[in-house]
Amino acid sequence: MSTESKALLKSFDNDGLPVFGLNRLRKRYRRLFADMINSGELRLEKVTACPCGNARFVNISNKDRFGLPFHTKICAGCGLICTDPRLSEGSMERYYREVYYPLVLGIPPGAAAGNIVSETQGEVIFSLTAPFVDMAKGPLRVLEIGCAGGENLKRLSEMMGQRGAACILYGTEYEEYNAVLAGEKGVNLIRGGIEEACTQGMKFDIVILSHVLEHIPDLNAFLARVRESLDEQGVLFVEVPGVNNTEMLSGGWYMNYVDYTVHSHVYNFNLASLRHILELNGFELAIGDEFVRAVFRVSGKESAAPDCSSNCESVLHYLENVLPENNHRPGSIYGLLRRRLKRAYYGKLRFHADY
């Protein structure tokens, strides 16, 4: 068991409460998830080093949005926020098959997820990648890792087509129902993910990672394969929920920082920490913002990435001072009473398993 480190703000402590009210489905799966961890059916692992190689961290928060004892801590070397503990790689498949959809997305098991990011995501990907793609090259080979029902690929291909560039679409998708939908849209399904694409020796002009990187524990191994699968002139589109996206963390999408954190997000990026880890793995930034949406190209240089150590301070300053009031828990008697009632309803869940 890990010892409880001090949280950055009092409201980031673990009071055992979910940040928002859970429906019955989510409440049931929250307990089931903790039971699976405590019985050893799902295994956790301690995070001892950041993918950048640094092992010095500053603790930020002691629970995730479901009131589960997953901490977040920030790497002093690059400012990447890591979730600790995290599910071990061996437990991922079962977790995503049995727990993720009902608990995190609130979708009953067996139902279609649809487009969970945005209906216009394909247009966003087009507008950001098009300036860096050689349209005259002939058919563009496009790969999306985790392509869901193929919506992004289909829309991107339509828009590329309007510019006279035909696309050959490839996607990976573990969820069977979505894989069928993608196939119907003309997407060539690659079974087994990025590893399989690499072993087949395919090279792509565009690779799309839309809300993927924050779920991948071994970032260096994964990015090495992505780089291998990209043509030397190819572009990589990455979208992740950015911690420095003030709009998102101030009531736009999330009520506060803890609401933003979730155990399935192994990492929380801002543009600087994303750029740093990509640079360490042989990419260079072409364009990007704090949303985070970014386009990378293959870098010719093998030299070390530029220093990113000031990013840790700047993210901590942002969390402590820039985010608005709703990150600070009100100390009223009413608030105290409410929390006590909620705790009796949900129950404070602990992990007893060793990791």
Nearer to Zn ion, 172 or 270 (CB): 270
Least CB distance from residue 181 to Zn ion, whole Å?
Answer: 37
Residue 336 Cβ vs Zn ion, minimum distance, rounded to whole Å:
37
Residue 80 contacts Zn ion per CB under 5 A: yes
Residues making up the chain, counted from first to last = 355
Site string for Zn ion, 83-122 (x = CB under 5 A): ----------------------------------------
**According to the binding rule CB under 5 A, does residue 216 interact with Zn ion?**
no
Q: Is 52 in the site for Zn ion (CB under 5 A)?
A: yes
Note whether 198 and 136 are within 8 A (CB): no
Secondary structure of residue 339 in the 3-state scheme: helix
312 sits near Zn ion (criterion: CB under 5 A): no
Q: Name the 3-class secondary structure at 264.
A: coil
Q: Name the residue among 83, 36, 34, 32 with its Cα closest to residue 57.
A: 83
Interaction between residue 77 and Zn ion (CB under 5 A): yes
Cα angle for residues 196, 201, 206 (degrees, 5° grid): 85
Tell me the number of residues near Zn ion by CB under 5 A. 7
Give the list of residues 6+ apart from residue 159 with CB closer than 8 angstroms, or none.
122, 123, 126, 130
State the minimum distance, in angstroms, from the CB of residue 78 to Zn ion.
3
268 interacts with Zn ion by CB under 5 A: no
Of 182 and 274, the one with the shorter C-beta distance to Zn ion is: 274
Residue 223: CB minimum distance to Zn ion, A: 14
Minimum CB distance to Zn ion, residue 91 (Å)? 24
CB of 114 to Zn ion, least distance (A): 35
Residue 164, sorted as left (phi over 0), alpha (psi -120 to 50) or beta, turns out to be left
| Alpha helices (H) in the chain, listed in sequence order | 24-38, 89-98, 100, 121-129, 151-162, 176-184, 194-199, 219-229, 246-247, 257-260, 271-280, 310-317, 333-346
**Binding status of residue 50 toward Zn ion by CB under 5 A:** yes
Among 8, 74, 78, 194, contact with Zn ion (rule: CB under 5 A): 78
**How far, in Å, CA of 239 to CA of 145, rounded?**
12
Residues forming the site for Zn ion (CB under 5 A): 50, 52, 54, 75, 77-78, 80
